Amino acid sequence: AHDLYPQVEESAFAYQELTLADFEAHRAEDPAWFTPLKMKKLARYFSVPGSRAFGCVIEGRLAAYGWTSEQYLGVSKRLLEEGDGYLWDDYTHPDFRGQGWHGRLIRLREEVLRNGGKRRTLSIIARHNRASRRGYQRCGYYLLERYSFGRRWGKPFMTLRYGTRKA
């Protein structure tokens, strides 16, 4: 059995919507992850209509974060179908991995999307990202489609797993 809800004192845990200033404030906790390039990407994510970032803050540290989108498939220009929400760019700080925070964050973001009227949630997970795939599978996600990504003959392509779950 795997406890998807780690035991943490209520006063030491906060689940909150994040701003770019929140990411800047937590940047020193994991400078290898929050590189200048990653910070630039996060700033761009905030410009995507309908996108929001959420995080698990434990004893003042950003343990995990992830994004929701109500309109687009991440930063792509592909619109989501009516009733679909998208979970993307999940990250768990190395000190908090293997403790179930990823699964808890998935469920909390599903609830946000469900409360916003979404009936189904989707996620794209890189084939090599076994930890993320396992986390989503534990939460009931399954493979819906496969995509490819890269460059062939000068044109981009994608190879990713496209999972779904009813919200």
**Digit-coded pLDDT (tens) for 7-53:** 555 556 789 999 999 999 999 988 999 999 999 999 999 998 999 99
Using CA atoms, how far apart are residues 21 and 120, in angstroms rounded to an integer? 30
pLDDT at 23: 95
Instruction: Report, as an integer, the average pLDDT of 106-123.
Output: 93
Using CA atoms, how far apart are residues 148 and 19, in angstroms rounded to an integer? 31
User: Which segment of 40-44, 79-83, 126-130, 149-153 scores lowest on mean pLDDT?
Assistant: 149-153
pLDDT at 160: 42
For the cut 90, the answer to whether the pLDDT of residue 143 exceeds it is no
Banded model confidence at residue 133, pLDDT cuts 50, 70, 90: confident
Strand partners, 67: 53, 88
pLDDT at 127: 77
pLDDT at 151: 54
pTM over 0.75: yes
